[in-house]
Structure 1
Amino acid sequence: MPYEWQIDTAPEDSGAVSYRLRLWPYQSLPATGFVWFIGITAGLLSLPMLAVVGTTALWGLLPFAGLAIWAIWFALQRSYRKGQTYELLDMNHNALHLQRHDPKRPVREWKTNSYWVRASLRNGPVEHYLTLTDGQREVELGAFLTPEERVALRDELQDRLGRLRR
């Protein structure tokens, strides 16, 4: 799953626990796969042009092949930039701090008392829309996760929030 929990425990005498959750979008094509995909696509696009090498038709087809390779490159690079989005959720007995980091945008933050926070799922803009609320403000968490991952995350969040309240 594209999220991971870190648990920090304080010294034995205090018994305090804090949790850190890091969420990120799933990346299906690693950097080496990107290089291979662009190379193979360029090679396959050049195969039909071998038939017109030495003719003026090559110069008519070459810009379109170059444009196709550039469009694929641009789309994949844009996808990688969106993949740099991540969310950090820090929780302890007294506070909850949520940060969303998007490329080329300021960091969005939400701070509240962790005692009052509730995690809930509802059908809104997407299936199993995961939100956190403290009764005054409601924020979305894990918009880039699949519906099944949001359900699992909600269960884990409720469990950890319950442990912090005890």
Structure 2
Amino acid sequence: MPYNWTDPDTAAETRELHLWPHNSLPPRGLAIFVLSTFTLLMVPLLALLGSVLLWGILPFILLAVGGLWFALTRSYHQRRILEVLTLTRDHAHLTRHNPDGQVQEWDCNRYWASPELHAHGGPVPNYVTLRGGGREVEIGAFLSEDERKALYDDLVTALRP
């Protein structure tokens, strides 16, 4: 699962939950995929070696491979999100690090913090929010539907007094 709990610090009784989007293609896999695509697109051009048609088709193949590389690296950049929920004995603090470097924070008294699962009506099915301190904030919206259900169960257990 693309989230994990840290072991509680027994002295301070602090637990942290780290959430991040799932990346199915690691950076090495990206390089292999782009190189494989380039190689497979070049195979039909072997028949055109020595002809003028090669130079007419080659820029389009390079443009296609460049566009593929650009799209995949942009996707990686957009998925650089980290959410950290810190729970102490009497305090809950959520920090979200966005891809553009912006940091969003929410905190409240742990007694008033409550997770809510919105099965319908949210931007995604089984939308999970934290309510407390006069605000309601989303958590883990980038997770899959099953992962959000598991996250909700974990939050209910962790926030229980």
1:62-102 CA-to-partner distances (Å, cap 9, x unmatched) read 11000000011001101111232110000112111101111
Partner of 1:82: 78
With normalisation by structure 2, the TM-score equals: 0.94
Report the Cα distance in structure 2 between the residues aligned to 1:101 and 1:136, rounded to whole angstroms: 22
**Counterpart position of 1:142:** 140
Which residue number in structure 2 is paired with residue 132 of structure 1? 130
Residue 100 of structure 2 aligns to a residue whose secondary structure is: coil
Letter in 2 for 1:57: L
Amino acid at match of 1:150: R
Contact kept in structure 2, 1:119 and 1:132, CA below 8 Å: yes
List per-residue Cα deviations over 1:32-70 (Å, max 9, x = no partner).
Answer: 211111111110000111111111111110110000000
Match of 2:40 in 1: 44
**Distance in structure 1 (CA, Å) of the matches to 2:146 and 2:64:** 36
Q: Distance in 2 between matches of 1:83 and 1:153?
A: 19
Contact 1:90/1:97 (<8 A) preserved: yes
Structure 2: gaps of 5 or more residues = none
1:161 is the counterpart of 2:159: yes
Q: Distance in 2 between matches of 1:125 and 1:32?
A: 32
Letter of the aligned partner of 1:46 in structure 2? Answer: M
Partner of 1:57: 53
8 Å CA contact retained: 1:7, 1:17: no
Looking at structure 1, the residues matched to 89 and 127 of structure 2 have their Cα atoms a distance apart, in angstroms, of 26
> What stretches of structure 1 move > 6 A for 4+ residues in a row?
none
For residues 158 and 135 of structure 1, the distance between their equivalents in structure 2, rounded to whole angstroms, comes to: 17
What letter is aligned with 2:23? Answer: Q
- How far apart in 1 are the matches of 2:94 and 2:9? 20
The answer to whether the 8 Å contact 1:23/1:87 transfers is yes
Amino acid corresponding to residue 143 of structure 2 in structure 1:
L
CA contact (8 A) 2:107 2:133 kept: no
Taking only aligned residues, the RMSD between alpha carbons, in angstroms, comes to 1.2
The amino acid that maps onto 2:32 is W
TM-score w.r.t. the length of structure 1 is 0.91
| Residues 108 and 133, structure 2, Cα contact 8 Å, conserved in 1 | no
CA distance in 2, matches of 1:135, 1:8: 24
Alignment equivalent of 1:101, drawn from 86, 97, 100: 97
- Counterparts of 1:113-128 in structure 2, within 5 Å, are 113-122=109-118, 123=120, 124-128=122-126
